[in-house]
Structure 1
C-alpha cells in the first residue's frame, strides 16, 4: 500500500533538504572546524581531531534539514550560521 500523498513532500523540497544536508552540512561543519582552528592557539590539534569530528558533525547536520518542513529555510539557516562564523573569525 503506497503512502498517503498528503504526507509526501514535493520534489523541490526533497532536493532542498538533500542538498542542504549533504552540501550545506559539510560546508557548515568545515567552517566550524576552520573557525575553531583560528580561535584556538594551535590549529594542528584541530586538524588532527577534525579527521573524525568533522564527519560526526556532518552526519548530525545531514539529519537536521529533514526536521524542517521547508528545505530552503534549512539552507537559509545553514548559510546564516556559516556567515556568522566567518564574520566572527575575522575579529
Structure 2
C-alpha cells in the first residue's frame, strides 16, 4: 500500500535537508555529545559505552529529523546543539586536560 501523498514532502530541497540532517547532523550531534561527556567524566568509560549509545542516539535523531515539517529548522537545531556540545567539550578540555 503506497504512502498517502499529503504526508510526503513535495520539495526536493526539503527532502534533501531532512535526509542530510538525519544522516550527517544526527551523527555530528551524537558524537559531539559523547565527546562532551568524555571531557568531563572518565573518558575511558564514556568511550567504551559510546560504541553502543552513539548508534542509539543517532537512530533517535534520524527519526526526529523526519518528524519535523521543515528540514532547515532541523538543521538549525542540530547545528545549535553541535555548537553547545562543542563548547562544553572545549571548556571541559581546558579544565580537565587528558594526560
Question: Is the TM-score greater than 0.5?
Answer: yes
What's the counterpart of residue 18 of structure 1?
Answer: 19
Change (3 A) 1:44 1:5: same
Q: With structure 1 as the length reference, what TM-score do the two structures score?
A: 0.88
1:29-68 counterparts in 2 under 5 A? Answer: 29-40=30-41, 42-68=42-68
1:77 aligns with 2:77: yes
Distance across 1 between alignment mates of 2:3 and 2:51: 40
Question: Where does the alignment leave 5 or more consecutive residues of structure 2 unmatched?
Answer: 92-99
How big is each residue's C-alpha offset from its partner over 1:41-68, in whole Å with a ceiling of 9 and x where there is no partner? x201011101111100000001111111
Corresponding residue for 2:89?
89
Number of aligned residues: 90
Distance 2:62 2:2 in 1: 26
Q: Which runs of 5+ in 1 are unaligned?
A: none
CA distance in 2, matches of 1:4, 1:85: 38
Query: How many angstroms apart in 2 are the aligned matches of 1:20 and 1:61?
Result: 9
Displacement of 1:5: 4.7
User: For 2:69, what is the secondary structure of its paired residue?
Assistant: coil
Counterpart Cα distance in 1 of 2:7 and 2:60: 24
Supply the RMSD in Å over aligned alpha carbons: 1.7
Distance across 1 between alignment mates of 2:83 and 2:68: 20
